[in-house]
Amino acid sequence: MPVIQVENLRKVYGDVVAVDNVSFQVNEGEIFGMVGPNGAGKTTTIECIEGLRRPDGGDVHTLDLNPQTDGYALRERIGVQPQESALSDRVRVWEALDLYASFYRRSVDLNSLMEQLGLTEKSKAYFDKLSGGQKQRLSIALALVNDPELIFLDELTTGLDPQARRVMWDLVKNVRDKGKTVFLTTHYMEEAELLCDRVAIMDQGRIVAMDTPDNLIRDLGVDTRIVFTIDGDLEMDSLRALDGVSRVERSSEHIVVYGQGETLVGNVVNALTANGVRLRDLRTEQPTLEDVFLNLTGREMRD
Amino acid sequence: MLVELKLFLREPEAFFFTLIFPMIMLFVFGSVYGNKPSEFYGGHGSVDVSVPAYMGIIIAMTGLVSIPISVATDREKGVLRRLRTTPVRPQTILMSWVMVYFLVTVMGALLLVVAGKIFYNLRFEGNVLYVFFAFVLSVFGFVALGFVIASLARTARSANIIGMVLFFPMIFFSGATIPWQILPKGVKAVARALPMTYVVRLLQGLWFAEPWSKQLTSVAVLAGMLIIGVLVSAKIFRWE
């Protein structure tokens, strides 16, 4: 029983087809990401699934409900973190949580929610005095206040510093580990790779690829590069013979090994150690979802 | 609803204007003109005539300025949009806004009355219930107007501008600030098209125990504004 089922979704704004015949499904307990550049149609899609927007064509079923006709029933069971949403400047953290909790029939213990999200210290603080990271944490808290089965996160970490982003990622993983399903959109490929169980790459209103990040990268068939410097000498053929290696290039003591497979790096390092060769400055360059996107669309992700 | 009220109280500017400004007017004009009965006001003191009029200012402030600005600001910030993702019904939100603004307006009016009584020996000749009813009608009428403005304005800034543009002429031409008796003919003609004029007339009339039969136009205008305002804003209100 998929948690979200979308078939032939279509949404048009005037002349622009924002979402063009999009179909996919999301399963219970997974973190599913819609990835793509800004303007790809991700937010429109997520809003159609949430019930905030009315599709022009296609079928959407969220938690087996129709988001348009069963909107209120659906909202009891989902949590939504919209892309740009702020709260009134001078509302206190606990007040906002209390207010939102009052909208639902069921809500979690607010104190423990604040604790989980590291907001207890700031419970009396005014919204406009919070840092960007704290605002985002409050934003997630508001989406979790009713202990939803399904959570929507639209552009979770836009504008956050790297540390705050990591905190967010851990939080999302925690939520999934509790058995909830997470549907997120992002334009950060790195985020999608790290976080999502499955990913749908979206561009100009269409889904251009959908699979696990690992599969997508592997299917790309692009080699991983392992770059390092050696002290001592080594026959390149011994490296070439290793499992997964496709090519080895050398320029005096700088070596680049091309290959594929999970065990590639391990094999190379082991081989070097076994031969008593010391290596320095080891660097691995792997293809990323960005490369997948580039390959599929011929364009780079504009970030 | 409590949260909304607290929020309002924390906006010092709004608080000041709505509650304090009319008080200032009261004290300024009160000290200048006193409150002795005079022929000019048909046998009433200037403060007696002014207090109901200043209530009109409070009502206008709420309806034309406070509501449009705060609603449009919330919309702009995405506050309203986020509320739409929860099971809360739109009616609940609207009602809580209306209640808050109503309470604030009543508080302002009460403050005026109390100050008038204490400092200027305010005289009241009407029926409290009647005046209260008229007050409620006026408030709701202007609240409805406020939501229409909030629906029409695209940004918080334009809500601000529209509100101000409507507010100042309305309070100056309607007899709410400058007494009706002083206004030149031309202004009076314009004033007949302004809803605030009818608020002032209605409140003053009932304050001095004029019969309801004399207030029919005012009541009709305000009730009409209320009904039309509610219908229009229900149709065009935008949550984002």
Q: What is the predicted pLDDT for the residue at A49?
A: 92
Compute the residue count for chain B. 240
* Contact flag A95-B77 (C-beta cutoff 8 Å): no
- Interhelix angle B90-120/B128-152, nearest 10 degrees: 130
Tell me the three state secondary structure of residue B10.
coil
Query: How much is the pTM?
Result: 0.79
Chain A partners of B79 at a C-beta cutoff of 8 Å? 85-88
Flag whether pLDDT at A114 surpasses 60: yes
DSSP class per residue in B63-125: IIIIHHHHHHHHHHHTHHHHHTTSS--HHHHHHHHHHHHHHHHHHHHHHHHHHHHHHH-----
Whether A80 has its CB under 8 Å from any CB of chain B: the answer is yes
- Around Cβ A167, how many Cβ atoms within 10 Å? 17
Give, to the nearest 10 degrees, the angle between helix B216-236 and helix B128-152: 30
Q: Are B153 and B61 in contact (CB under 8 A)?
A: no
Amino acid symbol at A119: L
- Rounded CA gap, A109 and A101, in Å? 9
Q: Report how many Cβ contacts below 8 Å link chain A to chain B.
A: 50
B3, B87, B89: residue with CB nearest A104:
B87
For testing contact with chain A, the best of B86, B93, B96, B100 (most A CBs within 10 A): B86
Average per-residue pLDDT in chain B?
A: 77
The token pair at A94 is: 């606990």
A251's tokens = 């320029």
Quick: pLDDT tens for A252-303: 888 888 888 778 888 888 888 888 888 888 888 888 888 888 888 877 765 4
**Residue A153 clears pLDDT 90, i.e. is over it:** yes
Is residue A72's pLDDT more than 80?
A: yes
For residue B10, give the nearest of A50, A72, A90 by CB distance.
A90
Query: What mean pLDDT do residues A32-39 have?
Result: 89
Is A85's CB within 8 Å of B79's CB?
A: yes
Residue B7 has pLDDT above 60, yes or no: no
Sorting pLDDT into bands at 50, 70 and 90, what band is B8?
very low
Q: Name the burial class of residue A43, with classes exposed (0-12), middle (13-18) and buried (19+) by CB atoms within 10 angstroms of its CB.
A: buried
Q: Are residues B77 and A142, on separate chains, in Cβ contact within 8 Å? A: no
d(CA B2, nearest CA chain A) in Å:
9
- What is the percentage of chain A residues whose pLDDT exceeds 70? 98
The percent of residues in chain A predicted with pLDDT above 90, rounded, is: 27
Query: How much is the pLDDT for B25?
Result: 64
Write down the ipTM of this complex: 0.78
- Residue B101 has, within 13 A of its CA and on its CB side, a CA count of 30
Nearest to A88 by CA among B82, B150, B103: B82
Residues 79-118 of B with CB under 8 A from A: 79, 81-82, 84-89
At B79-110, the pLDDT tens digits run 888 888 888 888 777 877 787 788 778 887 88
- pLDDT at residue B147 is higher than 60: yes
Residue A11 has pLDDT above 70, yes or no: yes
Residue A77: predicted pLDDT: 93
- With 60 as the cut, is the pLDDT of residue A205 above it? yes
Mean pLDDT of B171-193: 79
